[in-house]
Structure 1
Amino acid sequence: MSAKIVSVAAGEAHTLALTGDGRVFSWGRGTFGRLGTEKEEDELLPVPIALGERKNGQGGRPPKFVGIAAGAYHSLALDDDGSVWSWGYNIYGQLGYGEENSLIPSTVEQLQELGYPDSLADGSSIDGGQVVLKICAVKAGGMMSFAIDNLGALWMWGNCPQQTDTGEFCLSGSLVPLPVWDFHGHTVVKVACGNEHVVAAVSAGETYIAGNLVCYAWGNNSHGQLGLGDKENRSRPAVIPVFNEDSSWVVYEIACGAFHTAVLTHEKTYEKNIESKCWTFGLGENGQLAHGTTISSCKPEPVNGLPHDAFLVSLDCGLFHTAVVSSSGEVWCWGMEKGLGLCPDASYTGTDAGDALYPLRMQSPETNGPNFTGPVQVACGAAHTVLVSGEGYRVWAWGRGRCGVLGSGHTTDSYVPCAVMWPSLDENFKEMEGNINRDVKVRDKDGNIAEMEQKLSAAMEEIEFLRTKLTRMERYANVLHISIFRKTLDERTLPKSLQDSGVFDMRKELENVMDSADNEELVRMEMFHRSMLSSVKDKQMKRKIQEMVKECLLSLSSGRQAW
């Protein structure tokens, strides 16, 4: 479980990953301390967050995190005991404590000290005692933070939409978590927030029953991102008519970009094949609505460029782009810079650098086809996208790579999914370093500290070199394996010829693959070959490859030995 990712969250230029054993890793831009590593340096690879002080006097119990969230420049994590940890930018009080930025995660004391106001605690008791407040979910966006408690109440802090004394809309910073009174008597199930607007999925009745969610929206509505049919701001939650209690669609996922909103629904039906649909509304000038135009929309409209038989399981919005994932592992993106979310100065080098007005399907490096295996979740930052696949054991990223936001060890942009270096090797190296340090203390009885430190430094440099070399070799082996077997390298399914003898019979394995391939698979193999050739710049080398492949194909058809 230490290597399995169960959740990801993306901020403006940083990413958080939550593992099955309750740890949080981060990478990308480090300014304001958003990575939680006690410093502001960028991280090109996933690293574990540091742990700060518990502010509620619970001592040194290590947290086991069960939830994460990322705002533009700050981060949240939820412990299984209900405590919320936060770090990063804090100019509007979005951390829930202090007035300064925090380079290290610390608990939000205000949340743990909150009791239910009288109007929220009516009849709320267990065995005659008042229900203890426990946070069950966290969410962040822009400069604000949200939490949902075990009674289904919603709390917000930071730069949140509020109402002035005269009843007008305003954005006001709050260090103290405030309850959203409008949902008293209902259960808040999900919440999403953009730069200045909020959308919540709330039970129609007092308790949540599958299929009875109603969508509310409030905040800035300058581009129609509230989906209420106009561009008037709202200081209090208002029901989105398309997703009200009488709607024929069941809302099950919501997401907010900077100035647009996306919603996933399925039909209210008991039929076996349930159709899902993605709806978008708000700012559309970069194609982030996928309506085929750059016109903004004040009402939810369906995205018609997605397959009707695809059931969508994950959704997220970036600054000016949107991404969805189907249960079969297909990933679609749309919006700025061909759906990559890149800003215009990224210098996209493709044949068409325009924005995607319709969904574009991403090609999977895993299968060299349209499907990623075992899709889990997609998350969008301002100009990058992260996908967890392989049932949580593989991570892919694409878009802007500056500051290491793609987690690949590099700072270059990527227009196709590239592998995030996961699982993280930092923990193993720290353990090795600790062992070496302990060994130094045991052996160094003559006071030769300087000499041993030099040896330790040299050993760590060698480890770093081997890690880089291992990463390159893993990528190379993976490409070769995909070219033959159409799937990523997995040590659990190594070819039998390699398992038995230690020698890989490439000719035999390739023959087996081609014999069992159908026409569609053969076309994919041809496309892979052409793609490989297109990356070869040397004309003489390209000619040699073509001759080699031609000779191999002739030998396969005649049964002769070619290699």
Structure 2
Amino acid sequence: MFKAREKVVAMTKNLTVIIAMVLISLVIPINPAEPACSATAIDGGDHHTVALKGNGTVWTWGSNSEGQLGNGTTTDRYTPMQVSMLTAVTSISGGGHYTLALKGDGTVWAWGHNNEGQLGDGTNQWRSTPVQVKGPNGIGVLTGIIAISAGGDHTTALKNDGTVWAWGHNFEGELGDGTTISKSTPVQVSGLTGVTAIAVGEDHTVALKGDGTVWTWGWNQYGQLGDGTTTDKNIPVQVNGLTGVTAIASGKYHTMAIKGDGAVWMWGYNNEGQLGDGTTTDKNTPVQVNGLTGVTAIAGGGYHTIALKGDGTVWTWGWNQYGQLGVSTTTNINTPMQITQLTGVTAIAGGGVHTIVLAGDGTVWTWGANEMGQLGDGTTTQRTSPVQVHGLCSMTSERDFNGDGKSDMLWRSSSTGDVVIWFMNGVDINQNNYVFRNMSVFWDIKGTGDFNSDGKSDVLWQNTTTGDVAIWLMDGVTIKSGDYTVYGMPKEWGFTSVGDFDGDGKSDILWQNINNGDLAIWLMDGAKIVESNFIAKGMKSEWVVKALVDLNGDGKSDVLWQNTTTGDVSVWLMKGLSTPEGNYIARAVPDNWHIKGVSDFDGDGRGDILWQDTATGDVVLWFMNGFSAVSSVYVQKEVPQNWQIRAVGDYNGDGKADILWQDTSKGDIYTYLMDGMDISAEGFVAFGLTIDWQLK
């Protein structure tokens, strides 16, 4: 089972004491924490929203009637959920009722509505999970792509040679191939080279060339092609009188461009004032937006427009019936107005009747229509000002103290009280260091979590004599600050676990009263309790909390229970302090099968359950989706009893949980690096740890 490697790692000795006792007073002021949110790109469809995370995963929410969320269902989602089986993505685009993703290898993937062939897979079949776009004439696959854009029912892609390819609906010539015949696989746009950017409207397409000129084709009833006519074109035509352009975008029936001087020019449909020129008159040639300079990015919604300035401020204009302009009214505006609540914005996007922005801290904010949950705030309530999307702020990896995305190991000596951290990289210890020496025996480490949302794990302590609760806010092995959370916690209240119940990226604390079974949550911000409340009363003593983990992928921790008498396993799907939704996931599990860990083993954003048969040593993994075990598989059979599972965590930073073992007879530490059900690598981490060193 375990193949030894020639490596011996010992605890670091004779280190200087890093810091004096910090539980008594605040030692180092806390700098404002940046949320552990990692969104890097955003886009909107008609009634759904898409976000790309820094780890290459795609998250969607909102309308899902045609499978446009890509999670294998057609159920609407009010908070983000990860797209199934899709990683290494570098760019995203939301279409009418479908979605696109571009991978780092230059391939394109699509899902959702497909009546017009807009998914590019050679069929007209809707897809609720990603399919790869095929090559021209359905031969091979499309490669070499550097940019993508989704429209109402047609799609465009820019290749690394400057050519543009398109597929889907073509009744108005929006594919640009000289025909009006729809295509379910890519065709090259006629006579167009040297392109650096693309954008797509409902039934028209826009391209920016390296020489700063703009070219358009497709439907032109409102002058959205900008060539001085209202005649459709099935091959590219140049926009009249427009040069020096650096960026382009499109709304439903209007088009926009930014010039090198930061000014914005627009043309097309203007009934709602979306051209921003102070009128509601359509324009078939470009007009400059009134009073707007210093613009670095532009985006179009259905009938509204969004601009981002270099100073991080956001400006909007156009249709506003659903509050999509974000200025706290529902009145149309035909010249730009600033959204004063927003600063530090780095990216913007428009949906059909909603708006999305990405802040510099990786958080995503939305406003406008929300009947399908497209704002991602867990409701279907229309918003006229920005609200934060819930569940995109991922919890820090288990025990990740230096914020590198890899789980670390926190050790404490029961004989000396010393606290040590190992910074891990797979099976290798990158660094090991003392955090604190001679910690009082009365202080017990209860758990770890990212309480201030800075992407680094912190340490939760409780004094076993006084009941006092305190938190170390950590930066690697440095204690940035230490402070009491509460004094004199009554002894009948026992710590249960740490999780993020409200999806804000900050760990919260679950307590249970050992006398009456009541459960209470503390919603935390650093060492401070923001809000607290009961979530249940009078739980029977045979029901034991086994873990807090996000089992349904909504970014909020759920509660996993097991009945010690019957073996039944159940889940509470949590939404902050509100009443949980509960159900059984298994009945009468034999008492020789024990839950050894719960974490996300397949990288789908949902926790999975690791079991071990204490009689045989067999290890089994359940892959979870809310209340359901989607599949189960043996990880290892007949593990010797001296080898015990000590922890699960992502030790190599691949977004998938791994398994940490210890030989109880020798003290050796060993790791399985997991890829879902498979052991991708394994090896010894350390040898011969003495029994007084305990993993926390």
Q: 1:372 aligns with which of 340, 343, 350?
A: 343
Q: Retained in 1: the 8 A contact 2:172–2:232?
A: no
Tell me the amino acid that sits aligned with residue 103 of structure 1: S
Residue 355 of structure 1, CA deviation: 1.5
Residue 340 of structure 1, CA deviation: 3.9
Q: 2:67 aligns with which of 15, 33, 38?
A: 33
How do 1:258-277 and structure 2 match up within 5 A? Answer: 258-266=252-260, 275-277=261-263
Distance of aligned partners of 1:467 and 1:94 in 2 relative to their CA distance in 1, 3 Å threshold: farther
- 1:227 counterpart residue number: 226
Could you tell me which runs of 5 or more consecutive residues in structure 2 were left unpaired when the two chains were aligned. 1-34, 398-498, 501-546, 581-696
User: Would you tell me which structure has more strand in proportion to its own residues?
Assistant: 2
Moved more, 331-340 or 419-428: 419-428
- 1:197 counterpart residue number: 204
Residue 396 of structure 1, CA deviation: 1.1
How do 1:208-247 and structure 2 match up within 5 A? Answer: 212-243=211-242, 247=243
Residue 179 (structure 1) aligned with residue 188 (structure 2): yes
- 2:25 counterpart residue number: none
Q: Retained in 2: the 8 A contact 1:27–1:47?
A: yes
Following the alignment from structure 1 to structure 2, what is the Cα–Cα distance between the partners of residues 261 and 392?
Answer: 30
Following the alignment from structure 1 to structure 2, what is the Cα–Cα distance between the partners of residues 169 and 177?
Answer: 14
Residue 45 (structure 1) aligned with residue 79 (structure 2): yes
Residue 301 (structure 1) aligned with residue 326 (structure 2): no
User: Would you tell me which structure has more helix in proportion to its own residues?
Assistant: 1
Q: Retained in 1: the 8 A contact 2:95–2:150?
A: yes
Residue 160 of structure 1, CA deviation: 3.0
- 1:329 counterpart residue number: 312
- 1:252 counterpart residue number: 246
Residue 162 of structure 1, CA deviation: 6.7
Distance of aligned partners of 1:3 and 1:113 in 2 relative to their CA distance in 1, 3 Å threshold: farther
Following the alignment from structure 2 to structure 1, what is the Cα–Cα distance between the partners of residues 392 and 203?
Answer: 35
Following the alignment from structure 1 to structure 2, what is the Cα–Cα distance between the partners of residues 91 and 396?
Answer: 31
- 1:544 counterpart residue number: none
Q: 2:167 aligns with which of 157, 160, 177?
A: 157
Residues 408-463 of structure 1, C-alpha deviation per residue, up to 9 Å, x if partnerless? 111111111111114346998898267999x989x98x9x45xx22xx22xx24x4
- 1:80 counterpart residue number: 104
Tell me the amino acid that sits aligned with residue 340 of structure 2: Q
Following the alignment from structure 1 to structure 2, what is the Cα–Cα distance between the partners of residues 349 and 7?
Answer: 23
Distance of aligned partners of 1:163 and 1:387 in 2 relative to their CA distance in 1, 3 Å threshold: closer
Q: Retained in 1: the 8 A contact 2:133–2:185?
A: no
Residue 198 of structure 1, CA deviation: 0.8
How do 1:418-429 and structure 2 match up within 5 A? Answer: 418-424=387-393
Residue 3 of structure 1, CA deviation: 2.8
Distance of aligned partners of 1:162 and 1:232 in 2 relative to their CA distance in 1, 3 Å threshold: closer
Residues 222-243 of structure 1, C-alpha deviation per residue, up to 9 Å, x if partnerless? 1111111111111110111222
Could you tell me which runs of 5 or more consecutive residues in structure 1 were left unpaired when the two chains were aligned. 52-61, 117-131, 204-211, 267-274, 343-347, 365-370, 470-563
Following the alignment from structure 2 to structure 1, what is the Cα–Cα distance between the partners of residues 77 and 177?
Answer: 43
Q: 1:139 aligns with which of 136, 149, 155?
A: 149
- 1:5 counterpart residue number: 39
Following the alignment from structure 2 to structure 1, what is the Cα–Cα distance between the partners of residues 130 and 161?
Answer: 26
Residue 332 of structure 1, CA deviation: 0.9
Root-mean-square deviation (Å): 3.4
Q: Retained in 2: the 8 A contact 1:228–1:240?
A: yes
How do 1:383-532 and structure 2 match up within 5 A? Answer: 383-389=353-359, 391-424=360-393, 432=549, 448-449=566-567, 452-453=568-569, 456-457=570-571, 460-461=572-573, 463-466=574-577
- 2:333 counterpart residue number: 356
Residue 299 of structure 1, CA deviation: 0.8
Following the alignment from structure 2 to structure 1, what is the Cα–Cα distance between the partners of residues 319 and 576?
Answer: 38
Residues 325-346 of structure 1, C-alpha deviation per residue, up to 9 Å, x if partnerless? 112121111111279448xxxx
Q: Retained in 1: the 8 A contact 2:62–2:78?
A: yes
Residues 199-235 of structure 1, C-alpha deviation per residue, up to 9 Å, x if partnerless? 10023xxxxxxxx222101111111111111111111
Following the alignment from structure 1 to structure 2, what is the Cα–Cα distance between the partners of residues 358 and 324?
Answer: 12
Given the two structures, how large is their TM-score scaled by the length of structure 1?
0.64
Given the two structures, how large is their TM-score scaled by the length of structure 2?
0.52
Tell me the amino acid that sits aligned with residue 256 of structure 1: S
Identity %: 28
Residue 392 of structure 1, CA deviation: 4.5
Residues 240-293 of structure 1, C-alpha deviation per residue, up to 9 Å, x if partnerless? 1222xxx3xx21211111111111112xxxxxxxx3101111011111111111
Tell me the amino acid that sits aligned with residue 281 of structure 2: I
DSSP 3-state at the match of 1:92: coil
Following the alignment from structure 1 to structure 2, what is the Cα–Cα distance between the partners of residues 64 and 378?
Answer: 22
Following the alignment from structure 2 to structure 1, what is the Cα–Cα distance between the partners of residues 224 and 579?
Answer: 45
- 1:278 counterpart residue number: 264
Distance of aligned partners of 1:154 and 1:386 in 2 relative to their CA distance in 1, 3 Å threshold: same
Following the alignment from structure 1 to structure 2, what is the Cα–Cα distance between the partners of residues 353 and 224?
Answer: 27
Tell me the amino acid that sits aligned with residue 252 of structure 2: A
Residue 358 of structure 1, CA deviation: 1.1
Distance of aligned partners of 1:322 and 1:68 in 2 relative to their CA distance in 1, 3 Å threshold: same
Distance of aligned partners of 1:104 and 1:115 in 2 relative to their CA distance in 1, 3 Å threshold: closer
Residue 465 of structure 1, CA deviation: 4.2
Q: Retained in 2: the 8 A contact 1:169–1:233?
A: no
Residues 141-191 of structure 1, C-alpha deviation per residue, up to 9 Å, x if partnerless? 110111112212211000136769xx99764321111011311xx322111
Following the alignment from structure 1 to structure 2, what is the Cα–Cα distance between the partners of residues 163 and 43?
Answer: 34
- 1:531 counterpart residue number: none
Following the alignment from structure 2 to structure 1, what is the Cα–Cα distance between the partners of residues 550 and 284?
Answer: 57
